[in-house]
Amino acid sequence: MDPVNEAHVSRPGLVVFDVTAADDDTALAFQQLLADRWATAPAQHTTRDPDEPGVRLRCYLDLRQPISPSAPDEALAPVSAAAPQ
C-alpha cells in the first residue's frame, strides 16, 4: 500500500486503518462497521498482493464527526494541542 500522507492524520481525530482480511467480504464488512459508527469514505474494492494470502483495504476515519445527526453528542471531544499526550 502507499504510504500514509501527512494530511490524512494532520489533526487529532483523523485515523488511517490498514485492514488485512481473508477475503473481500470480510474486509468490506469490517469497513462498513467502521462507517456505521464514524465518518469514513467507503471503500469500493480491496487490493491483493502477489504471492500473499488475503486482501488489504485502507480506511480513512474522522472520529470528530457525530455518529448520526440525531446523536451529535457522541462525537469525540476536540483535543487541545497543549493536552498531555
Predicted pLDDT of residue 27? 92
Q: Does residue 20 lie within any of the structural domains? A: yes
Q: Could you tell me which of 15, 47, 14, 42 has the C-alpha nearest to residue 29?
A: 42
Predicted pLDDT of residue 8? 55
Number of folded domains that form the chain: 1
Q: Does residue 2 lie within any of the structural domains? A: no
Query: pLDDT digit of tens for each residue in the chain (85 aa)?
Result: 566 656 556 678 788 888 899 999 999 998 888 888 887 777 777 889 888 899 999 888 887 876 655 444 555 455 444 544 4
Q: Does residue 63 lie within any of the structural domains? A: yes
H-helix segments, 24-76:
24-37
> pTM for this one?
0.62
In the sheet that 14-21 helps form, which strands lie side by side, from edge to edge?
A: 14-21, 55-62, 39-40
Give the structural domain span for 56.
7-67
